[in-house]
Amino acid sequence: MLLQGWEAFFFYGLAITVLFMAVFTVSAKNAVHSALFLISTLIGLAGLFLLLRAEFVAGAQILVYVGGILVLFLFVLMLVNIRDDNQNPFNRQDKIAFVVSGLLLGAIMFSVYHTQQSGFFKSKPTDERAVIESAKPGPNTGMISTDTENVGKTLYTKAVLPFEVASVLLLVAVIGSVLLARDKKQEETYD
């Protein structure tokens, strides 16, 4: 897999945006700013997913993360009154944590580098003949990508059981969060 031309240009642009926004997410003093920077990070990641021809996941990312989870974060941030008493937003472990995460980064980078040096990634330009038939545009679809079709096929044939389990998980999450988030007065009224 090798992105060339404009795709590579967009990759580097999005990569730099995503990295800076991630660093700002972690380092922003105000938690609301963190949430907004996280939104930017996730939108940039959705753009990267588009570059990787994963349109469905890019759409799901924007709908679920940006439209759902981040709105939830902002709601909770506004319900929870954070006292801004000029306290350092980082705790006392920040130096040792920097070393630990630096070592982790070094380990991951080394393993990726080693894998690449061992010739695991055949990083030649995309050979259209090697791409499986199902990944190509169909006869009646013109140049429209068949990514969503293939994701749907895989989801409903190979991954049916996890799909159903995921629905139960979401039900548990809904009931559990309603049960947890009610206050004392509501509990006394309904118990």
Partner 1 sequence: MMISEMWTPVLALLQQEPSGSFGQRLVQSFSQASTTSFLFLSAILFTVGVYGVLTRRNMIVIFMSVELMLSAANLNFITFSRYWQTQGNEYAYNGQIMTIFVIVVAAAEAALGLALLLTLYRNRETVSADEITLLKW
- Which of 53, 48, 55, 61 has its CA nearest to residue 13? 48
- Which of 123, 124, 157, 150 has its CA nearest to residue 135? 150
Q: Considering the rule CB under 8 A, would residue 109 count as an interface residue with partner 1?
A: yes
Nearer to partner 1, 101 or 140 (CB): 101
Instruction: Classify burial at 70, counting beta carbons within 10 Å of its beta carbon; exposed 0-12, middle 13-18, buried 19 or more.
Output: middle
Q: Are the C-beta atoms of 2 and 124 separated by less than 8 Å?
A: yes
Q: Considering the rule CB under 8 A, would residue 160 count as an interface residue with partner 1?
A: no
Q: Which two tokens stand for residue 58?
A: 């890019």
User: Shortest approach of partner 1 to residue 125 CB, angstroms?
Assistant: 9
**Which residues between 113 and 152 bind partner 1 (CB under 8 A)?**
113, 116-117, 121-123, 126-127, 130-132, 135, 147, 150-151
Instruction: Classify burial at 56, counting beta carbons within 10 Å of its beta carbon; exposed 0-12, middle 13-18, buried 19 or more.
Output: middle
Question: What sign for the dihedral angle of Cα 184, 187, 189, 191?
Answer: negative
**Which residues between 68 and 97 bind partner 1 (CB under 8 A)?**
68-69, 72-73, 76-77, 79-80, 82, 87-91, 93-94, 97
User: Shortest approach of partner 1 to residue 142 CB, angstroms?
Assistant: 19
Q: Are the C-beta atoms of 42 and 66 separated by less than 8 Å?
A: yes
Nearer to partner 1, 144 or 181 (CB): 181
- From candidates 86, 118, 183, 191, binder to partner 1 by CB under 8 A: 183
Q: Considering the rule CB under 8 A, would residue 66 count as an interface residue with partner 1?
A: no
**Which residues between 33 and 52 bind partner 1 (CB under 8 A)?**
34-35, 38, 41-42, 45, 48-49, 52
User: Shortest approach of partner 1 to residue 144 CB, angstroms?
Assistant: 16
- From candidates 138, 144, 154, 164, binder to partner 1 by CB under 8 A: 154
CA pair distance 146, 148, nearest whole angstrom: 6
User: Shortest approach of partner 1 to residue 138 CB, angstroms?
Assistant: 15
